């Protein structure tokens, strides 16, 4: 097995921690001897042992002196909720360590590699670096800025509509795209929708098409006007439902009724249009839930507000091969009139999900992913 092949396996193992480890990174480790796998491990849950410890524990061997440990993130050298991985690697006398990327956590960044080298261990870095950085882009932004990584997920028609003029939008894209969306939900800490999407579609916003844990569901309902019969207010996951409303409504009967039902009400500032100030909502939510990644699922008003606030890190765009005449444009509420003002993105990935196009883009202004 080559280093690259083993790193691909480590990345796959790391993915298994999606959602469960947040805001920690997703990490997988492979222990090799003569290019053959001895054991594997991954970081399973926030606060649980790190990937390297899992792989070493699973090895069931006494002598590690001719083994190579491969891991997608630099082994930690600090005492966190768990002891430093570098200490265990040194104690076990592992011969060689192969790393995908340095840990962007300032407490570790480069110190893990140094500790290993100081102990005479051979260290190779940057194997499949781009893929490793991509996998932990949420962690990287959060540990560096304290703010969550924000993804806009848009399911649209060929002509950029997310709903017909009557507001119906539930089934624009196909089953495979929806499966991908469920996968994304399992990776993020929270999903956000607006009042219109909540009342027209009444979506469950849970993870069903794949295995994984459900995110928190946030609904922006400035005036608290949504009916109490909404699925997100009555289903078994309702304690994971959060409503952001204008701060004047914090102590009203409607807010109290929601709270009694187990729903969290988060009062927020409003902007000059009387709509929730997205920056304030995100910082309030982050204070309560320490969010490292959020996915915004619509509709047009919310998409536009997030773009206008320059809060978007990534677009996940699902385009169905249909045309909806006179529909609701995904970004129709944006007030960028000239090309100079246009929001710019760079293409990361493009493929098909079933009959739909699937495109991932990210903002180009600030590069959180390099130089670590
Ligand atoms: C590793 N391997 O599998 C992970 C690492 O609070 P703790 O002890 O869980 O430490 C969390 C920090 O450790 C996290 O911010 C990141 O820097 C690193 N995560 N490191 O060697 C792992 N999950
Ligand atoms: Zn560690």
**Domain residue limits, the chain:** 3-135, 141-363
Question: Measuring from atom 17 of ligand 1, which residue has the nearest CA?
Answer: 105
Residue 343 has pLDDT above 90, yes or no: no
For 342-359, b/e burial (b = at least 16 CB within 10 A) is eeebeeeeeeebeebbbb
Ligand 1: lining residues by beta carbon, under 6 Å: 24-25, 27, 43, 50-52, 73, 75-76, 80-82, 85, 103, 105, 108, 143
Largest Cα–Cα distance in the chain? Answer: 69
Measured on CA atoms in the order 234, 235, 240, 243, is the torsion positive or negative?
Answer: negative
Residue 365 banded pLDDT, cuts 50, 70, 90 = low
Residue 366 banded pLDDT, cuts 50, 70, 90 = low
Residue 115 has phi, psi (to 5 degrees) of -60, -40
Element (H, E) at 15: helix 3-15
pLDDT at 257: 96
- Give the β-pairing of 161-163 and 328-329: antiparallel
Measured on CA atoms in the order 106, 109, 112, 118, is the torsion positive or negative?
Answer: negative
Q: What is the mean pLDDT of residues 269-286?
A: 94
Q: What is the mean pLDDT of residues 351-370?
A: 82
Among 130-144, 147-161, 284-298, 321-335, the range scoring the smallest mean pLDDT is 321-335
3-135, CATH topology level: Cytidine Deaminase; domain 2 (3.40.140)
User: How far, in whole angstroms, is CA 334 from its chain's centroid?
Assistant: 25
CA of 27 to the centre of ligand 2 (A): 9
Ion ligand 2 contact residues with beta carbon within 5 A = 50, 76, 85
Would you put residue 128 in left (φ > 0), alpha (ψ -120 to 50) or beta? left
The CA-atom distances, in angstroms, between 350 and each of 162, 305, 321, 358 are 19, 25, 15, 6
Residue 22 has pLDDT above 70, yes or no: yes
Q: What is the mean pLDDT of residues 340-357?
A: 92
Ligand nearest to the CA of 69: 1
- Give the β-pairing of 190-194 and 68-73: unpaired
Question: Measuring from atom 13 of ligand 1, which residue has the nearest CA?
Answer: 76
CA-to-CA distance for 258 and 141, rounded, in angstroms? 33
For 124-159, b/e burial (b = at least 16 CB within 10 A) is eeebbbebbbbbbbbbbbbbeeebbbbbbbbbbbee
Radius of gyration of the chain (CA): 23
Question: Measuring from atom 10 of ligand 1, which residue has the nearest CA?
Answer: 80
Q: What is the mean pLDDT of residues 308-316?
A: 94
Please state the atom number of ligand 1 nearest to the C-alpha of residue 27.
3
pLDDT at 36: 96
pLDDT at 337: 77
Question: Measuring from atom 22 of ligand 1, which residue has the nearest CA?
Answer: 50
Out of 24, 77, 81, 146, give the residue to mutate to test ligand 1, the one with the largest number of ligand atoms within 8 Å of its CB.
24
Residue 17 has phi, psi (to 5 degrees) of -85, 0
Give the CATH superfamily of 141-363.
Answer: Dihydrofolate Reductase, subunit A (3.40.430.10)
Please state the atom number of ligand 1 nearest to the C-alpha of residue 50.
3
CA of 80 to the centre of ligand 2 (A): 8
Q: What residue has token string 């956590």?
A: 105
pLDDT at 371: 41
Q: What is the mean pLDDT of residues 226-250?
A: 96
Among 23-32, 315-324, 339-348, the range scoring the smallest mean pLDDT is 339-348
CA-to-CA distance for 250 and 268, rounded, in angstroms? 9
The rounded percent of the chain whose pLDDT value lies above 70 is 97
Ligand nearest to the CA of 25: 1
> SS3 for 153?
strand
Query: How does the average pLDDT of the chain come out, rounded?
Result: 94
Check if the beta carbon of residue 198 is closer than 8 Å to that of residue 167: no
Residue 372 banded pLDDT, cuts 50, 70, 90 = very low
- Residue of 87, 94, 58, 71 lying closest to 6 (CA atoms): 71
Q: What residue has token string 């320490």?
A: 290
The predicted-structure confidence for 136-167, as pLDDT tens digits, reads as follows 999 999 999 999 999 999 999 999 999 888 77
CA-to-CA distance for 284 and 305, rounded, in angstroms? 17
CA of 41 to the centre of ligand 2 (A): 12
């Amino acid at each position: 097995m080559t280093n690259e092949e083993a790193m691909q396996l480590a990345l796959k193992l790391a993915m298994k921690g999606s959602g469960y480890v947040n805001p920690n990174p997703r990490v997988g480790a492979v222990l090799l001897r003569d290019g053959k796998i001895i054991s594997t491990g991954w970081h399973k849950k926030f606060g649980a042992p790190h990937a390297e410890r899992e792989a070493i524990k699973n090895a069931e061997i006494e002598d590690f002196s001719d083994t190579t440990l491969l891991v997608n993130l630099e082994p930690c050298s600090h005492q966190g909720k768990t002891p430093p991985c570098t200490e265990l690697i040194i104690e076990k006398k592992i011969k060689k360590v192969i790393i995908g990327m340095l840990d962007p956590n300032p407490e570790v960044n480069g110190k893990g590699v140094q500790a290993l080298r100081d102990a005479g261990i051979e260290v190779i870095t940057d194997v499949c670096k781009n893929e490793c950085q991509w996998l932990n882009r949420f962690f990287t932004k959060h540990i560096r800025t304290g703010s969550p990584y924000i993804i806009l997920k848009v399911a649209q028609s060929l002509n950029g509509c997310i709903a017909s003029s009557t507001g119906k939008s539930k089934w624009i894209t196909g089953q495979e795209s929806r499966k991908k969306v469920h996968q994304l939900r399992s990776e993020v800490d929270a999903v956000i929708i607006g009042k219109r999407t909540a009342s027209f579609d009444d979506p469950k916003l849970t993870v069903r098409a794949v295995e994984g844990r459900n995110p928190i569901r946030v609904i922006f309902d400035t005036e608290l006007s949504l009916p109490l019969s909404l699925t997100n207010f009555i289903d078994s996951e309702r304690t994971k439902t959060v409503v952001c409303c204008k701060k004047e409504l914090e102590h009203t009967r409607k807010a109290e009724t929601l709270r009694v039902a187990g729903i969290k009400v988060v009062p927020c500032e409003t902007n000059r249009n009387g709509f929730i100030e997205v920056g304030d909502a995100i910082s309030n939510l982050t204070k309560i839930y320490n969010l490292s990644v959020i996915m915004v699922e619509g509709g047009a008003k919310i998409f536009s507000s997030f773009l206008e606030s320059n809060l978007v890190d990534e677009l996940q765009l699902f385009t169905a091969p249909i045309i909806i005449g006179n529909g609701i444009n995904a970004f129709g509420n944006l007030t960028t009139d000239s090309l100079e003002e246009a929001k710019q993105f760079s293409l990361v990935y493009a493929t098909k999900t079933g009959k739909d196009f699937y495109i991932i883009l990210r903002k180009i202004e600030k590069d959180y992913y390099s130089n670590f």
